[in-house]
Amino acid sequence: MASTPDAIMRTWFEEVWNQGKEETIDRLFAVNGVVHGLGPGGAPIRGPQAFRPFYHQFHKAFPDIRVNVERTVTEGDLVAVHCHVTGTHLGEELGAPASRNKVDFWGVCIARVSGGQVVEAWNCFDFLTCYQQVGMLPQL
């Protein structure tokens, strides 16, 4: 397996999100790793065990979720990943009944990779559009 930051992040999105390989979380997310922008109330998520609830919530809400890596930019141990997310809202895990609506939104993740693992990541995904598309929020 290639261990460049780009390759690590491409593997992360392909295996964790697209293939649903939960074991990849332990392999590619450092035990003391920190993820920003996905936790409840903006709180950081620390380590693979704390990441799992977010992962399960989204995989149950969107069992056909697909996160396509559109482009990456790497500088040293940092990689910016531009993602296109699609899926169908089939679960109630977001706090609303399954709408069966399709979602289509974009996001960016900037990750710092060390020793073949993500040690810190900053996420900015358009969850506003996602929540509007499933009917949880009004269209603006």
The DSSP result for the chain, as a single string, is ---SHHHHHHHIIIIIIIS--THHHHHHEEEEEEEESSSGGGPPEEHHHHHHHHHHHHHHH-TT-EEEEEEEEEETTEEEEEEEEEEE---STTSS-----EEEEEEEEEEEEETTEEEEEEEEE-HHHHHHHTTSS---
Per-residue pLDDT of the chain (140 residues; tens, 9 = 90+): 558 999 999 999 999 999 999 999 999 999 999 999 998 888 999 999 999 999 999 999 999 999 999 999 999 999 999 999 999 999 998 888 999 999 999 999 999 999 999 999 999 999 999 999 999 988 87
Give the domain ranges of the chain: 5-133
**pLDDT in the model for residue 13:** 98
Q: Which CATH architecture has domain 5-133?
A: Roll (3.10)
